[in-house]
A and B are shown apart, each in its own frame.
Chain A
């Protein structure tokens, strides 16, 4: 309904302008009035927003220039509250050709954690199940009793609740 009203409003302006120009709404005056309305609207919108838009860019540039590249690279993970420093540490421990499986299920079900981790870990691939993984990554969980100890070595801790374990 709002879209209809906006369109009708523009057409009404065209009709009024056309009537003023030619004394009646003729073919030429309607066309000319339409063009005039379009150009005036575009010009007003452009000049009216130019300063704010340019200033917003300039301010944002100044802010973002102060962000170190390392921090900028993980800004997406920080924005969704993921422990990016742990993942960076895990990256340094796991070879690029190896695969991993994120544990526990709560962390896998958390879209932010799972998606960011699988992005930041590339080219290390996320396995579909622990049996196919070269490594287990424990995110905010105590590893004891949650995995096949016979298949994987002892967990190496980054800090409390954050660890990795390598397939034997």
Chain B
């Protein structure tokens, strides 16, 4: 009974904490429909907002057990709601409602409902499947659940385990957010049930679809985002891989939402979007090292884009301010684990200090092309990824060609390229045999690149859908639409 209720209780706790954060940031308005729509996002925000400070506590030597975690969730949720309650009224005008909610698009919502209800039935089957799935994927038990069981046993980062060479096989440098996520489930369930814990991960995917739909609904009509999202969630590269309990899909989930929010911030500059994006990217960085590199890449690209193409009313330096603030927030989110690693003399597999040495890189340059071929080879396996990357590339190309959200399209394209390049760089400098390294990881690490493509697809498809027919523009005497106009259309011109 307790094991059955544990995921529900944890979902509610994380959701409450996340709703507090969303309310404090004015990201949701205080209405039942908006709160219900935001529950998926609230869950993911709650996971990040609770587990990042929990990791901070762990690195300070504080044991994180269930009562402490419940208190942390409650404190974050209540504090957020308190902040929102104090501000309520003065910022009401800034609250952004889903654009489609104003349209009364009955058929549009009906089409989306058919997809979402069908996906809901599939999700229920997924829960049943996840609840009895044995934990048998190697890295799942050797790395992630291994650390989770240790956290359950000791509540903290006992160096004899988390920093011992005897356990170096489990990648001591990998951050502990995912083991903590599992450990909390085990504690709540009252037992280390390695079958039922799969439900905790399936919840992540459902929350992701819900959250991405909620965010996308601000710029995209339901009949567009719903099929894209549910088809993608069905793709074997996502659903099957997630249930191995490897970290690659969880990283990609947080990365995707973070990058989508960065893209939205580029088009409308709402501080809440940038703040949430920073939280999501820091969460991804605390799941796996690929998340750190990808999150950093996204923020560097963001800074580059705003410097190259600042808003008309701002200087380049002033335009850079928010991006630098996000970068600083990201670094603060990443630092506790990195400091703990440093203080326990833990180093990763990758010789990062040599990684910018030209002679080191030149000596290993024969590793680059096979890595590119292998990684690109994964992105074209469409029975696994359902054409997300080529569709995203095509959408980006069309946006660039016809001048719709060019800056945002460039951001997604460059971020995807940088995430791809970051992975190639890791293979380039890795001391491992390249053939073995590629064969054991390239199918998984490609996930992040695909999820960046999904973010682009969700955002830019919505922007394209709002491009008015030429005859309508001629009728109204409007000039050809530039980036800023297209961006404003996304916000204010229902189709």
Contact = CB atoms under 8 A, between A and B. Distances in A.
Nearest to A124: B153
Nearest to A120: B141
Interface in A7-43: 7, 9-11, 14, 26-28, 30-32, 34-35, 37-39, 41-43
B317 to A, nearest CB: 34
A61 B165 CA distance: 39
B391 A41 contact: yes
Interface stretch (A67-75, A86-94, A146-154, A160-168): A67-75
B132 A61 contact: yes
Given A31-B404, A34-B464, A54-B122, A123 B150 contact: yes
Contact of A38 (B126, B128, B391): B391
Contact of B115 (A6, A46, A76, A116): A46
Contacts of B382: 6
A13 to B, nearest CB: 9
Contact of B467 (A28, A53, A118, A123): A28
A4 to B, nearest CB: 9
B166 A127 contact: yes
A119 interface: yes
Interface residues of B, number: 76
B380 A2 contact: yes
B129 A6 contact: no
A95 interface: no
A61 B166 CA distance: 36
B128 A61 contact: yes
Given A6-B380, A46-B230, A73-B194, A34 B394 contact: yes
Nearest to A74: B134
B461 A35 contact: yes
A57 B401 contact: no
B234 A53 contact: yes
Interface string B384-412: 00110111011101100111100000000
B335 interface: no
B380 A3 contact: yes
B413 to A, nearest CB: 12
A42 B222 CA distance: 13
A53 B135 contact: no
Q: Which of A10, A57, A60, A116 gathers most chain B CB within 10 Å?
A: A57
B129 A76 contact: no
Contacts of A80: 138
A17 to B, nearest CB: 12
B470 A27 contact: yes
Interface residues of A, number: 57
A41 B146 contact: no
A128 interface: yes
Given A41-B391, A45-B231, A75-B135, A35 B464 contact: yes
A64 B391 contact: no
A38 B461 contact: yes
Contact of B227 (A7, A34, A42): A42
B355 to A, nearest CB: 26
A127 to B, nearest CB: 7
Nearest to B466: A31
A50 to B, nearest CB: 7
B371 interface: no
B166 A60 contact: no
Contacts of B481: 27
Contacts of B119: 46
Contacts of B235: 45, 49
Contacts of B160: 125
Nearest to A99: B160
B390 A7 contact: yes
A61 to B, nearest CB: 5
Interface string B132-158: 111111101110011001100110000
A73 B468 CA distance: 58
A144 interface: no
Interface in B183-214: 193-195
Of listed B128, B387, B393, residue having the most chain A CB within 10 A: B387
A122 to B, nearest CB: 5
B360 interface: no
22 contacts: A9-B390, A14-B394, A27-B402, A30-B402, A31-B398, A32-B467, A34-B398, A37-B394, A43-B227, A46-B231, A64-B133, A64-B195, A69-B193, A72-B132, A73-B194, A76-B134, A79-B136, A79-B138, A119-B141, A119-B145, A119-B146, A123-B150
Please provide the 4 A-B residue pairs with the shortest distance between their CB atoms, ordered closest to farther. A75-B134, A31-B467, A6-B390, A46-B231
Given A3-B380, A42-B227, 10 more contacts: A7-B394, A27-B467, A31-B464, A41-B391, A57-B122, A72-B134, A73-B194, A116-B142, A119-B142, A123-B150
